[in-house]
């Protein structure tokens, strides 16, 4: 397989994966729709930082431990499930709390100020605590590395293709969120958004906990 063919083929696979609605999409849309543009980009950069780490570890062969060791996979799986369940529960609980002004209370750990650093931490943790991302890379990435190509270098190049597509899609999501931002100025709309997003996040946590 030629390098150019490998890049285009891998781009098609991860492109379809990127477009599939999931946890990342929910977090980015929610953060951006609440008007926290810097934090939304922090979430995006955190998610892509996690992707880069998974790609680098896979290229080095480290993440093969996840497929070889049941204990290592289970530890990471339960840590990720607990984090997502906590995050989803906090979102849902906060929609029932009221500030003196009558709006739903914001939890700093989840919504916080418009801080890129806070968003980066949230995005990175969400990505790195999902062992299925690592298993996906272990299963898929090696198939697109041509025979004779430097394994680590080619692995990072393929990972960068995934990151580039993720950044483009994330920019589209953030731009779309700006369109509906006016509607979300209403407290009832913001509560509805948080309840939907909290349910999605908690659902991903339950799915991670209950599936092998």
- State which H helix or E strand residue 155 sits in: helix 151-179
SS (H, E, C) 105-147: CCCCCCCCCCCHHHHHHHHHHHHHCCHHHHHHHHHHHHHHCCC
- Tokens describing residue 54: 């998974």
Averaged pLDDT score across all residues of the chain: 82
> CB within 8 A of 203, min separation 6: which ones?
88
On the question of pLDDT at 156 being above 90, the answer is: yes
Per residue in 45-54, pLDDT tens?
999 999 999 9
> CB within 8 A of 169, min separation 6: which ones?
18, 19
Chain-centroid distance, C-alpha 19: 12
The residue extents of the domains of the chain are 3-78+114-189
Kindly indicate the confidence band of residue 107, based on its pLDDT and cuts at 50, 70 and 90: very low
pLDDT of 113 reads 62
On the question of pLDDT at 104 being above 50, the answer is: no
> CB within 8 A of 195, min separation 6: which ones?
91, 92, 95
Per residue in 134-151, pLDDT tens?
888 888 888 888 888 888
On the question of pLDDT at 110 being above 50, the answer is: no
On the question of pLDDT at 207 being above 90, the answer is: no
Q: Which residue has the higher pLDDT, 99 or 96?
A: 96
Mean pLDDT in residue range 70-93: 80
């Amino acid at each position: 397989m030629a390098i150019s063919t490998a890049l285009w083929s891998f781009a098609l696979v991860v492109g379809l994966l990127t477009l599939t609605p999931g946890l990342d999409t929910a977090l980015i849309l929610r953060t951006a729709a609440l008007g926290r543009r810097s934090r939304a980009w922090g979430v995006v950069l955190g998610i892509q930082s996690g992707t880069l780490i998974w790609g680098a570890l896979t290229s080095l062969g480290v993440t093969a431990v996840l497929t070889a060791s049941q204990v290592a996979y289970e530890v990471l799986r339960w840590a990720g499930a607990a984090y997502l369940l906590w995050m989803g529960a906090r979102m849902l609980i906060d929609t029932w709390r009221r500030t003196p002004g009558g709006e739903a209370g914001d939890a700093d750990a989840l919504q916080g100020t418009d801080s890129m650093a806070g968003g980066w931490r949230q995005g990175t943790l969400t990505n790195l605590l999902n062992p299925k991302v690592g298993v996906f890379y272990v299963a898929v990435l090696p198939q697109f590395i041509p025979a004779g190509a430097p394994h680590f270098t080619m692995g990072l190049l393929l990972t960068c293709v995934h990151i580039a597509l993720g950044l483009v899609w994330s920019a589209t999501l953030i731009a779309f969120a700006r369109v509906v931002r006016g509607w979300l100025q209403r407290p009832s709309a913001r509560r509805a958004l948080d309840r939907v997003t909290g349910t999605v996040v908690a659902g991903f946590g339950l799915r991670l906990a209950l599936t092998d």
